[in-house]
Structure 1
Amino acid sequence: MRVLIVDDERLARAELRRLLAAHPDVTIAGEAANAPDAIDQVAQLRPDVLLLDVQMPGASGFDLLLALDDPPEVIFTTAFDRYAMQAFEVNALDYLQKPIQAARLAGALQRAAQRLAVHQPAPALAPRQLFIRDGERCWFVDVGRIRLFESEGNYARVYFDGERPLLLRSLNQLEERLGPRFVRASRQHLVNLEHVRAMTPGDGGTLVLELSCGTQVEVSRRRAAALRAAGL
């Protein structure tokens, strides 16, 4: 398991290195002192797990996650109680308050190994999960749980489970990144084919997709022709 340490405090990074030395199955891929450096290292090193401080100068740990197209698993490490609820809302592996206890870190690493073991490989270049922040709420969302993206200007509304937060990504950006399981139904909608339970003819050569939640999405005539040509 490859870990990237992200913390603006040199002593905090050194302490994490000391604690991680007790785990022979963990490789420290690198360390970063700020969000921009971490973004570069995630792209270059492709770590499995981030040990991520929440509050750092310039950009927070949450800002870092928003900048990543495909964030690794995350264990938050911070001295600030007021971030605890937000950290748990994002469904991170764990939230470790400084000074970090060896037993708590060991438990978080064990959960990381378990989660990594069950994930199926994603298509080449396609993200496995997205990090979404809407106001004070945050989520890590497996891409397969997302039924639909709906364009709202420069944002996309994301439909998964019972949630519908806004994501600062355009549909064009998402379509390029998400791979073949998502199809562009229209200028307004990007649909996960795995959540389509029925496809019926619409007016004027269009199609109507019925999603697993009951939502109906109309596919434009031009895009309907492309879907039919692809055998869908």
Structure 2
Amino acid sequence: MKALIIEDEPLVAKELNTKIQAITRDIDVMEVLPSLKTAKRWFMENAEPDLIFMDIQLSDGVSFELFDIYKLSCPVIFTTAYDEFALRAFKVNCIDYLVKPIDEEELKKAIEKCQGIIQNKISTTFDIQQLIKSLKDGNAASAYKEKFIVNVRNTWIPVNTSEIACFMRDYLNYLFTFSGEKYILDFATLDEVEKLLDPNKFYRANRQYIIHIDSIKSVQPHENFKLTATLKSPLKFEVDISREKAPAFKKWLDR
């Protein structure tokens, strides 16, 4: 049985592969894909495997996007940090999920279930689409990125998204915390960052800034109908908002 692991945490992927091999020799893990981008490319160049182990929240997006592009019919075991209670209702016949850290006994049961699906040639497409719709409709907030990993002097530091006051583009991308700490962000564009953020909490003010609603100290309107948002200390950045964006920004701010 050919399998694929889609997981952006190398240690988690390695541990999962080790546990799979300890449970059964019938599964050959063809490849470990570390991002949504590499997964999209892989499916363009390869036939779908017999089984997929898939993390829901990847560093560059949500893995559900793959099902918007490709009609995958193989069984999928989602590996996720979602709360188990929130996902219990979605544990349908042709899909399983494992809450991190992955329990070996639960992994064994999930594999056996998927082996039965493959042997009986049961289609899983409908169940996958139902799961995606239910999660997007009922648990949309959970799909947003909870942490960003920054590199400081060759050391990885996790920064909670809830601690981030704003993202800024200035040759490189940076994130600033509410306490004023500044970190370089390893993303090509702020467009990529924006897709991972809860739009109820973060607003794309302009090409240079994405700001958290709680970072705003005041907003100054101008005669030309543009706005200037001043962020709270210690940042004190002045962020311009265009005339075109002003009505939407006011609606976003005025809850």
TM-score, normalised by the number of residues in structure 1: 0.50
TM-score, normalised by the number of residues in structure 2: 0.46
> Radius of gyration: which is bigger?
2
